[in-house]
Amino acid sequence: MQKIIVQGGRPLHGDVHISGAKNAVLPILCATLLADGPVEIGNVPHLHDVVTTVKLLGELGAGITVDEGTLCRGSGITVDPTTVHSQVASYELVKTMRASVLVLGPLLAKYGHAEVSLPGGCAIGSRPVDLHIKGLQALGAEIVVEGGFIKARASRLKGARHVFDMVSVGATENVLMAATLAEGESVLENAAMEPEIVDLAECLKAMGARIEGAGSNRILVQGVDRLQGGRHDVVPDRIETGTFLVAGAMSGGRITAHRTRPDTLDAVLDKLRQAGADIGVDADRITLDMGGRRPAAVNITTAPHPGFPTDMQAQFMALNCIAEGVGVINETIFENRFMHVNELLRLGADIRVDGHTAVVRGVPRLSGAPVMATDLRASASLILAGLVADGETTIDRIYHLDRGYENIEEKLSALGASIRRVR
């Protein structure tokens, strides 16, 4: 089992290059199933979740070509869906990565049937898929849940107006992908507005889909008979960007994140400014300068985009742990996303949890200790805390981290952190 060892106390300075977004590339890889020809995807991050998705597409029969380093940004993956011969996504793969459920809409729309294992819950919450199912049913699919599988059929999906009961990123993605090949017009109301939805829509449009309004809560899709191959570069990862900026802020340093998209990070940048950081923004660059200051505690309530992202909650919890003052964090998206609290307590943090609310009283110093990663962003928060703790912090179970951060140790080392992976 691999571990990460961090020696705390070094301010971070310098430049970091941001990778393509995990939460954009996974739906985009699934969307390639809709095409009648090869789809080339650029700026693909090297992540375990990407490997799992590629494995799933391979199991369905798609041809996969990986072009390492042939593109100036990230690597490229070409998916040729013309050889797909199976419409069944097995439990073995879906259970390791819930984004696999995003093959449901594309397979159903393209082949008229699909069987996808129910993803089940995960450490951060129960994560149901009823909204995905209801949205596809609105397009005319017949769906039963049987033997742990979602079994869907439709001779051809039919465009419809559908209002999502609540904002769901995954359900919006699944239904949006399915609607591209449905007959006639679909109107998706109360749609999620995340930048990853916009990126998915851009990729679908490059394949010939007719979509308007992605990024707003009302998406219009004119169904087409077929989608062709195309090419698309994945949007930079706003959560990776935010994680590095928080690391800079906690350490009192100055860092510049390159190849990012500041316009996807408004809520996070606002909170960093409130914490006392000077933030400079360019078209594809963000510079954070803390000038050696200790951050001020910030209050946070997670919400669908453009609200504060749940995927940045754990990292800001780490910031509040060493901030001046008291920060109150409300988690409204996932019922169990405070798994990092007990580990942060082991480092000397002062946190009290009551239901969905955590009250964090900043302490001047944390002290290094062995801790255990429980999920992806919890792992990131423990690294951030370790970077400013006295002495050594050892983080166990870091396989969670490899799902969503490309070369995090190398990137942090280049900024001056003392961090290494041991096997």
Binding site for phosphoenolpyruvate: residue ranges? 22-23
20 belongs to the binding site for ligand UD1 (CB under 6 A): no
Choose among ligand PEP, ligand UD1, none what residue 129 binds, the Cβ cut-off being 5 to 8 Å by kind.
Answer: ligand UD1
Q: How far is the CB of 356 from ligand UD1 (least distance, A)?
A: 11
Q: How far is the CB of 314 from ligand PEP (least distance, A)?
A: 9
331 belongs to the binding site for ligand UD1 (CB under 6 A): no
* Selected range binding ligand UD1 among 136-144, 302-310, 391-399, 409-417, rule: CB under 6 A: 302-310
Choose among ligand UD1, ligand PEP, none what residue 400 binds, the Cβ cut-off being 5 to 8 Å by kind.
Answer: none
CB distance 102 to 116 below 8 Å: no
- Binding residues for UDP-N-acetyl-alpha-D-glucosamine are 98, 127-131, 311, 333
Q: How far is the CB of 293 from ligand UD1 (least distance, A)?
A: 30
Q: How far is the CB of 324 from ligand PEP (least distance, A)?
A: 28
- Two tokens, residue 18: 């941001």
- Give the residue from 17, 45, 29 showing the smallest Cα distance to 402: 45
128 belongs to the binding site for ligand UD1 (CB under 6 A): yes
- What is the DSSP annotation of 127-175? ---HHHHHHHHHTT-EEEEETTEEEEE-SS-B--EEE-SS--HHHHHHH
From 3, 127, 361, 421, residue interacting with ligand UD1 (rule: CB under 6 A): 127
200 belongs to the binding site for ligand UD1 (CB under 6 A): no
CB distance 202 to 21 below 8 Å: no
Q: Which residue numbers are catalytic?
A: 122
- Give the residue from 47, 54, 38, 44 showing the smallest Cα distance to 76: 44
- Two tokens, residue 251: 């350490």
Q: Which one, 87 or 310, has the nearer CB to ligand UD1?
A: 310
Contacts of ligand UD1 in 159-198 (CB under 6 A)? 166-171, 192, 194
Choose among ligand UD1, ligand PEP, none what residue 219 binds, the Cβ cut-off being 5 to 8 Å by kind.
Answer: none
The burial class, CB within 10 Å (0-12 / 13-18 / 19+), for 385 is buried
- Give the residue from 319, 320, 303 showing the smallest Cα distance to 311: 303
Choose among ligand PEP, ligand UD1, none what residue 404 binds, the Cβ cut-off being 5 to 8 Å by kind.
Answer: ligand PEP
Distances (CA, A) of 419 to 7, 15, 386: 6, 17, 9
- What is the DSSP annotation of 329-354? EE--S-TT--THHHHHHHTT-EEEEE
The Cα 226–Cα 292 span in angstroms is 56
333 belongs to the binding site for ligand UD1 (CB under 6 A): yes
264 belongs to the binding site for ligand UD1 (CB under 6 A): no
The Cα 153–Cα 156 span in angstroms is 9
The residue number with the shortest CB distance to ligand PEP is: 311
The residue number with the shortest CB distance to ligand UD1 is: 170
| Residue whose structure tokens are 């007959």 | 183
Q: Which one, 298 or 333, has the nearer CB to ligand UD1?
A: 333
The Cα 409–Cα 141 span in angstroms is 45
From 129, 211, 322, 323, residue interacting with ligand UD1 (rule: CB under 6 A): 129
Residues that bind ligand PEP (CB under 6 A): 22-23, 98-99, 122, 124, 311, 376-377, 404
The Cα 16–Cα 255 span in angstroms is 7
The Cα 354–Cα 329 span in angstroms is 10
309 belongs to the binding site for ligand UD1 (CB under 6 A): yes
132 belongs to the binding site for ligand UD1 (CB under 6 A): yes
378 contact partners, CB below 8 Å, separation of at least 6? 123, 314, 339, 340, 343, 400
Q: Which one, 107 or 167, has the nearer CB to ligand UD1?
A: 167
Q: How far is the CB of 311 from ligand PEP (least distance, A)?
A: 4
Q: How far is the CB of 6 from ligand PEP (least distance, A)?
A: 21
**Residues lying near ligand UD1 in the complex (CB under 6 A):** 23, 125, 127-132, 166-171, 192, 194, 304, 309-311, 333-334
